Amino acid sequence: MEEFGPLKDLLKAFTQSSFTRYVVNGDGVRIQLRQRPNSERRASPGTDHPKIHQESRPSRTQNHEAGKVIASPRVGHFFPLRNQMGELALKEGDMVEQGQPFGLVESMNLKYEIRADKSGLVEKYLIEDGEAVEFGQALILLK
Amino acid sequence: MFNKILIANRGEIAVRVIRACRELGIGCVAVYSTADRDALHVRLADESVCVGDPAPSDSYLYIPNIIAAAEITGADAIHPGYGFLSENSNFAEICKECNITFIGPTPEAIDNMGNKSQARKTAASHGFPVLEGSSGALKDLADAHRIAERAGYPVILKAVAGGGGKGMRIVKSAADLERQFNTAQMEAKSAFGDGSVYLERYVGKPRHIEVQILADKEGNVLCLGERECSLQRRHQKLIEESPSVAVSEKDRKNLSEWATKLVEAVSYQNAGTVECLRDEKGRFTFMEMNTRLQVEHPVTEMITGIDLVKEQIRIAAGQRLRMKSKDVILRGHAIEFRINAEDPSNNFAPCPGLITRLTLPLGPWVRVDTWVESGTEIPPFYDSLIAKLIVWAPSRVEALARARRALDEFKIEGIKTTIDFHREVIRDHRFVSGDYDTSFIEQYLKS
């Protein structure tokens, strides 16, 4: 098992980092690491309560016109669909058709396929791979 | 203790639970539907997660998104409040499977007590008086005659499958039984597709009295006195008070003993309420047990000084109750008024809409549990409860004076509410005297 030593070191460094995704390509080997974002959601709770009476809490969707985004129909962690090479199945600049699957939302150890609720040209993803999403949160901005 | 609690509810009870979390130093997560984006509970919580569209079945009742919200925020417990998922044993079971503590009884206890006929049998077998009657559906007319004789006339026939008065018949004497039995069966058949009816002693001038209990995981039980909830309209409580003028010290002791025995017998945990009927002769019988926090819990809090929501959280976290029933002191008198967005002059029709101006009553021993402010838009999708006014005073007479004062101060403009209705009711001599029963509000509305 000696040859896994460097891989273990890499895993350790990765889990201690703030990166959510790390990809290594080379010599016909591709290593892709992903972890859930180490955001405030994981912060040790009960330590600070900064948001009392915060006026007009920023909504994750409010900066986008409803007609120009594809929103999440579920709550969970979002993962975009990838092909066998690990590339995004739907990339920025691609056309997306209504009903086309483009990602998964995972919750309760189940994965739910997410399909586009409208067609359009993908301008950009508004969310990181593996990031938590709420209902109605904008996932993809369309041109 | 928990690190973070998700509150699977909205409105005043979500705000109530968030306040308890804050005082305990526990993080809190609000969930909300798209209709509640700007609601107070969302603003008060540390974090919030939108869980669906306005219809309750798409959001506050949609278990996958509620559990997912707990997962993505790292909440280790869920408080269900009342209503919505609070008495859903399936939800409690799913929480368990997902390693999230459901702040409430076990799924088994919810099921055992949720089955009303089963709960009644359990109560009876542990010495809690129940209404004499058939233990299930009547076999035939002869069966009805035999059981009616034993229970004593008048008796009432009720549909096994039903509720809401359908298939319900009061029988004054044996001579009347055959006709009423046939009618009840026909009504039950047409309303519920099941003609079976049961029979029990008819309770004249019934008062709805309920007992609050807390039980920890080690089997310690705390009984926190009764609440008088007879002021109801169509089974919706409007005013609650504690203590009840119809409960003597001896009654209170009996109720406490019966409730404690029942709770111990079913190994019940967390907060629960044992609902009883008191008849005109002062006899108490078991009705059902509610396996959750009640809307009217503040009146108990006011006379005991015990924060029921914090106790629920402590119990769910495995802590032991810190006192015994004999150490509970019931002090003074508390009354709660439910302020609903309803129009009493139009058959209490719900009145959603924009609150243009809100003036809350303040001053000594006045508590308001609410989620609305000036500028709040009441959505039409949910319960019409917008606030609870609770007053405390050393005696009932003083509590009534304080209630009158507070209700006079309470102003909500823009929508119709039940405030003025309460102002009238508490000036009625029957309410002032305490000599009322569950028919009072209907009679009052007719007069």
The answer to whether B50 contacts A45, with C-beta atoms less than 8 Å apart, is no
The Cα angle at residue B301 between residues B298 and B305, in degrees rounded to 5: 155
Residue in B446, B22, B228 with CA at minimum distance from that of residue A47:
B22
The pLDDT of residue A66: 67
**Closest-CA residue to B273 (of B286, B292, B260):** B292
Q: Which pLDDT belongs to residue A14? A: 64
**What is the tens place of the pLDDT at every residue in B102-136?**
999 999 999 999 888 889 899 999 999 998 888 78
Q: What is the pLDDT of residue A27?
A: 60
ipTM of this complex: 0.84
Q: What are B32's two structure tokens?
A: 């909300």
Q: What share of chain B is helix, strand, coil (3-state, %, to 5)?
A: 35, 25, 35
Instruction: Confirm or reject contact between B15 and chain A (CB < 8 A).
Output: no
Nearest beta carbon to residue A75 from set B37, B47, B65: B65
Q: Is the pLDDT of residue A61 over 70?
A: no
Mean pLDDT of A54-66: 50
Q: A58 in contact with B at a CB cutoff of 8 Å?
A: no
Report the C-alpha gap between B284 and A55 in whole angstroms: 51
pLDDT one-digit tens code per residue, A15-42? 666 555 566 666 656 666 666 544 433 3
Rounded to two decimals, what is the model's pTM?
Answer: 0.85
Is residue B408 less than 8 Å (CB to CB) from chain A? Answer: no
Which is more confidently placed, B90 or B166? B90
Instruction: Check if B67 contacts A (Cβ < 8 Å).
Output: yes
Mean pLDDT of A68-84: 95
Render pLDDT for B252-311 as a digit per residue (tens, 0 to 9): 999 999 999 999 999 999 999 999 999 998 999 999 999 999 999 999 999 999 999 999
| Placement of tokens 């009342």 in the chain | B82
DSSP, residue by residue, B296-339: THHHHHHHH---HHHHHHHHHTTPPPSS-GGG----SEEEEEEE
Contact A78, A127 (CB under 8 A): yes
d(CA B7, CA B226): 27
Q: Of B39, B68, B65, B61, which Cα lies nearest the Cα of B51?
A: B65
Terminal CA-CA length for chain A: 50
Residues of B in contact with A77 (CB under 8 A): 72
- Lowest-pLDDT range, A32-36, A81-85, B229-233, B405-409? A32-36
B290 to each of A108, B103, B271, how far by Cα in Å?
29, 14, 9
The two tokens of residue B269 are 């945990």
Task: Check CB contact under 8 Å for A44 and B22.
Answer: no
Name the more confident of B237 and A24. B237
Q: Which of A27-31, B59-63, B443-447 has the lowest mean pLDDT?
A: A27-31
Chain B CB contacts of A42 under 8 Å are: 74
pLDDT at B115: 86
Selection from B327, B315, B304, B392 nearest residue B24 by Cα: B315
* B292 has catalytic annotation: yes
Q: Could you tell me if A102 and A140 are in contact, meaning their C-beta atoms sit under 8 angstroms apart?
A: yes
- Domains defined for chain B, CATH in brackets: 4-103 (3.40.50.20), 132-201 (3.30.1490.20), 207-446 (3.30.470.20)
Candidate from B27, B51, B65 with C-beta closest to A46: B27
CA–CA distance, B54 with B58 (Å, rounded to integer): 7
Least confident of B55-69, B153-167, B220-234, B279-293: B153-167
Average pLDDT, chain B: 95
Query: Which of chain B's residues have a Cβ under 8 Å away from the Cβ of A134?
Result: 49-51, 69, 72
For chain B, the residue count is 447
A54 contacts chain B (CB < 8 A): yes
Over residues A99-129, the pLDDT tens digits come to 999 999 999 999 999 999 999 999 999 999 9
Contacts of B5 (CB under 8 A, 6+ apart): B17, B21, B26, B27, B28, B29, B75, B76, B77, B78, B79, B103, B313
Catalytic residue among B292, B314, B338, B402: B292
> What one-letter code names the amino acid at B404?
R
* Cβ atoms of residues B48 and B32 within 8 Å: yes
More confident residue, B131 or B341: B341
Smallest CA–CA distance, residue B24 to chain A, in Å, is 9
